[in-house]
Amino acid sequence: MEYTYLGRTGLQVSRLCLGTMNFGPQTTEPDSFAIMDKALEMGINFFDTANVYGWKKGEGVTEQIVGRWFAQGGGRREKVVIATKVYGEMGDWPNQKRLSALHIKQAAEASLKRMQTDYIDLYQMHHIDRNTPWEEIWQAMEQLVREGKVLYVGSSNFAGWHIARANETARARNFMGLVSEQSLYNLAARTIEMEVIPASLEYGLGIIPWSPLAGGLLGGVLKKIDQGRRADERTQKRIEEIRPQLEAWEAFCAEMGEEPAAVALAWLLHQPAVTAPIIGPRTMEQLTEGSLRALEIKFSEDQLKKLDEIWPGFKTAPEHYAW
């Protein structure tokens, strides 16, 4: 396993991040435990979750699974950099969602209890809250940091200007501010190249891409269909919309002699500011097949150019849409 620093911090994390969103709804607790144990064995020390995962309002099903896994001991908690999130609706009352100081405090306390830990390594805002001022958000986060309940703060699904506004406000308060941004990023979804990546580079944020395989589209979906696997209706529709690109993509990977999933992850690891793509396995097989291989794949300039032809990216703004 390779390790890198999370943004401008001194915190070292693995270059692959274990996503836990499937734990509970699609992966049983025993299987989730086995996957987390295997991830540690592989050297993955960076785990990502959220208080809303498990999709039973207010229960934090996935965080509870992580907590029971930590409770087994064996150095599990000490070895893992755990990232969770706040913003989502955790109850039916008005202040049980978003980023008011009240909800941040209550949500953090609840996550700590569910995960059976004293501190959250990386506490991420799951979405921007346009109705809460940054002074209020940072006051709440600063209090959690002072109490030792949160070590670092990150964002997720922020625009470039949100990152700038957040960190300039934090700077005025002599607070560290955001150290990471978790964004949708893959070969088929490259919008963040326009403004989010430049902002992250400027402010020292590490990018944590979610959906690195575009919901499975970049994982050899055409080959799998040929082998008899059936995609859901939404995926089938998307396949037909971009079939020529998918055909070119899978042919490119075949020419490299590599599995598409590994190539897609390797491409992300090659991009500036990217700390660790999130791999969200449902099964042990999905965890172990190809993920480590991604760390070994290197690209020639011609190969990178070919990938840009198949999956066109974005220039840095404003050059992308202006002279």
Using the 8-state DSSP alphabet, how is residue 190 labeled?
-
Contact by Cβ (8 Å): 40, 69? no
Measured CA to CA, the distance from residue 80 to residue 46 in angstroms comes to: 6
**pLDDT, tens digit (0-9, with 9 covering 90-100), for 92-142:** 999 999 999 999 999 999 999 999 999 999 999 999 999 999 999 999 999
Residue whose pair of structure tokens reads 């000490």 in the numeric block: 78
Nearest residue to 201 (alpha-carbon basis) of 185, 172, 175, 181 = 181
Q: What is the pLDDT of residue 232?
A: 83
Nearest residue to 170 (alpha-carbon basis) of 138, 146, 147 = 138
Cis status of the peptide bond prior to 198, with omega within 30 of 0: no
CATH level 2 (architecture), domain 3-216+260-300: Alpha-Beta Barrel (3.20)
Q: What is the pLDDT of residue 43?
A: 97
CB atoms under 10 Å from CB of 245, counted, come to 16
**pLDDT, tens digit (0-9, with 9 covering 90-100), for 41-82:** 999 999 999 999 999 999 999 999 999 999 999 999 999 999
Strand pairing class (150-156; 12-14): unpaired
Q: What is the pLDDT of residue 111?
A: 98
Residue of 3, 53, 123, 152 marked catalytic: 53
Residue 163: Cβ-neighbour burial (10 angstroms; 0-12, 13-18, 19+): buried
Nearest residue to 17 (alpha-carbon basis) of 185, 247, 234, 257 = 185
Dig out the tokens for 46 from the structure: 């960076």
**Domain extents in the chain:** 3-216+260-300
- Specify whether 53 is catalytic: yes
Backbone angles phi, psi at 116, to 5 degrees: 50, 50
Measured CA to CA, the distance from residue 4 to residue 45 in angstroms comes to: 11
Pick out the chain residues at pLDDT < 50.
none
H runs (alpha helix) in the chain: 29-41, 61-70, 76-79, 101-114, 134-146, 160-172, 196-203, 221-226, 233-241, 243-256, 260-269, 284-288, 301-310
**What is the maximal distance between C-alpha atoms in the chain?**
58
pTM of the model: 0.96
The DSSP H or E segment spanning 278 is strand 278-279
